[in-house]
Amino acid sequence: MNSSYDNLYKKMILDFARQKENHRVIKDATAAERGHNPSCGDDLTLLIKEQDSIIVDASFWGEGCAISTASTNILIGLIKGKSVNEARKITDAFFKMMQNEELTEEDQGLLGDAVILQNTADMPARIKCSTLSWHALKMIIQKDEKN
């Protein structure tokens, strides 16, 4: 990846990290899962409000670095208004990307803005930041499917 692309992605990540509207507590959330990354200091809790298998609202609480915060804001933007099943597909595509697996066109469509995090897959110190909230979402979906 050349450096101008690299800078563009950095700028986009910072823009997503600065978004404030998702940093709030949903009082009647139906699920919450904490993501904690001691090596960086990220400590974010993902909150979801589900109604009839649709994620009608999502937010996060806590503090994290630019990458974990940006990743969480992107995640929320992607899953809000979607069914739990769609959120699971998006999550699967995200982990495929972070494991450097080949993505189908469908995967890329599902990932939307999350593709800007792809280059963090090759940074061992950063991958935990990128995937923190996605692990939390995966836990929420897995618990949901057991019920």
Cβ-based nearer residue to Zn ion, 42 or 50:
42
Cβ-based nearer residue to Zn ion, 103 or 127:
127
Residue 28, classed as helix, strand or coil, is coil
> In angstroms, rounded to a whole number, what is the distance separating the alpha carbons of residues 27 and 116?
31
Would you say the C-alpha torsion 113, 76, 37, 68 has a positive or negative sign? positive
CA-wise closest residue to 138 among 68, 90, 104: 90
Complete DSSP assignment for 120-141: GGG-HHHHHHHHHHHHHHHHHH
Cβ-based nearer residue to Zn ion, 82 or 135:
135
Quote the least distance from Cβ 89 to Zn ion, whole Å.
Answer: 26
Quote the least distance from Cβ 65 to Zn ion, whole Å.
Answer: 3
Where along the sequence are the contacts to Zn ion (CB under 5 A)? 40, 42, 65, 68, 129
Quote the least distance from Cβ 72 to Zn ion, whole Å.
Answer: 11
Cβ-based nearer residue to Zn ion, 32 or 40:
40
Residue 68's alpha-carbon distances to 4, 50, 140, 144, in angstroms, are 22, 23, 18, 24
Quote the least distance from Cβ 53 to Zn ion, whole Å.
Answer: 31
